Amino acid sequence: MAKPKKKESKLLLRLYIAGNAPNSLAAITNATAVCEKHFAPAYHIEIVDMLTHPGRALIDRIIVTPTLIRLFPLPARRIVGNLSDTHQMRLLLGTK
């Protein structure tokens, strides 16, 4: 179960990536773009590189990258992939 680090009202996301791998870079770009459009400035994305912090990925039960976790608002949700699927993104972020 994901544990939010801060109890704030803004959108909190954590994105697990693998270095400069293409899907990882695409995921960063896609996530940032959606957040900037719909939530700026009330959002925060923490980007965790699984290659340098594999222990954290283990804690969050991450199997593959890229994986985006919505930490807040609860309940926590996650999507796998390069975040190019806008339908999935809308479900996760509750946007239209």
- Contact positions toward another protein, by CB under 8 A? 17-19, 21-24, 50-51, 54-55, 57-58, 62-67, 75, 77-82, 84, 88
- As measured in angstroms, the least distance from the Cβ of 74 to another protein is 12
- As measured in angstroms, the least distance from the Cβ of 22 to another protein is 5
By beta-carbon proximity to another protein, the closer residue of 16 and 43 is 16
By beta-carbon proximity to another protein, the closer residue of 9 and 20 is 20
CA separation, residue 17 to residues 27, 62, 65, 87 (Å): 8, 10, 5, 21
- As measured in angstroms, the least distance from the Cβ of 15 to another protein is 12
By beta-carbon proximity to another protein, the closer residue of 40 and 52 is 52
Please compute, for residue 26, the number of CA atoms within 13 A of its CA located in the half-sphere on the CB side. Answer: 11
Instruction: Report the first-to-last Cα separation within the chain, whole angstroms.
Output: 27
Rounded CA separation 74/51 (Å): 27
Q: Are 85 and 32 in contact (CB under 8 A)?
A: no
- As measured in angstroms, the least distance from the Cβ of 83 to another protein is 8
